[in-house]
Amino acid sequence: DINPTLTPIPNSSPITNPVRTHNPELILVATKIIANICLGSDDDVNQVLKYGGAEGFLHVLTTENNPTCKQHVCWAISNIVVGPNIHLQKILSSGAIKEVSKILLTTTDYGLQKEAAWAIANSFSKCDFSQACKMVNDGAIGAIVSILKVQDYDLLDIILSALNTVLRKERETGGEKTISHLFEMAGGLTALERLQLHENKEIYNKVIQLMQANYSLEECIAESIPLAMQKPEKKEIN
């Protein structure tokens, strides 16, 4: 008999079906198992996606209150999207990236925030331009700008690399700079201005390189942003 607490999905399996349960303990275990499976081969990931894994991820992201469950899902997504492009497309089509973007805008849980940032960063790094536009429409730009406002080196390093990748892909199309404009409108240039004062030199250099590659001097002046502001020396505390 089917457990009455489960909500079966088409082509579900004993592994992916439990993520649709109303039992918090079972969801916690199931999401961890699936996340570990997604560390395996492309064939392993194919099985997870074949049996409704992407839809199950969306269910957890939209209904669960336990940040650890959501962290497991974001971890799984970040590993899935670095495989064949069809895997990333499955995740995008399910709506999971839209929910991950929302998490980055709202969560105060550091572990969840970091895994969500990895999921967005890896997706941007591996997507084609049309998929990047889909991610932007799903709120990924706002999510990135929110991360740029924190001071954590690891999160900033992840997001700056992803942003640089997607803006490079936009430049390569030779078309309108829609994504870079939306990033600017979302407060992205202002966030980059603040990061020019970041104490970590690698973050500072990434910011300068990103701005020089993607924004004209006129655009930066309009935002009152120096392209290569002198980095202040750290003062010793007596």
Q: What is the mean pLDDT of residues 134-157?
A: 88
Lowest mean pLDDT among 23-37, 57-71, 160-174, 224-238: 224-238
pLDDT at 232: 39
Q: Which of 14, 18, 13 is nearest to 30 (CA)?
A: 18
The mean pLDDT of the chain is: 83
Q: What is the mean pLDDT of residues 28-55?
A: 93
Cβ(33)–Cβ(15) under 8 Å?
yes
Asked if pLDDT for residue 22 goes beyond 90, the answer is no
pLDDT at 236: 42
Q: What is the pLDDT of residues 106-131, one digit of tens each?
A: 999 989 999 999 999 899 889 998 99
Q: Which of 212, 148, 189 is nearest to 228 (CA)?
A: 212
| Residues 6+ positions from 32 with CB-CB distance below 8 Å | 72
| Residues 6+ positions from 170 with CB-CB distance below 8 Å | 129, 132, 177, 178, 179, 180
Q: What is the mean pLDDT of residues 23-49?
A: 92
Q: What is the mean pLDDT of residues 168-185?
A: 86
Q: What is the mean pLDDT of residues 72-78?
A: 96
CA of 131: how far to CAs of 64, 89, 146, 196, in Å? 27, 8, 21, 30
pLDDT band at 152 (very low <50, low <70, confident <90, very high): confident
**Integer Cα distance of 23 and 194 in angstroms:** 44
pLDDT at 229: 45
Q: What is the mean pLDDT of residues 26-41?
A: 92
Q: What is the mean pLDDT of residues 73-86?
A: 96
pLDDT above 70: percentage of residues in the chain: 82
Higher pLDDT pick, 68 / 146 = 68
DSSP state of 231: P
pLDDT at 217: 56
Asked if pLDDT for residue 219 goes beyond 90, the answer is no
Asked if pLDDT for residue 61 goes beyond 50, the answer is yes
**Integer Cα distance of 25 and 171 in angstroms:** 47
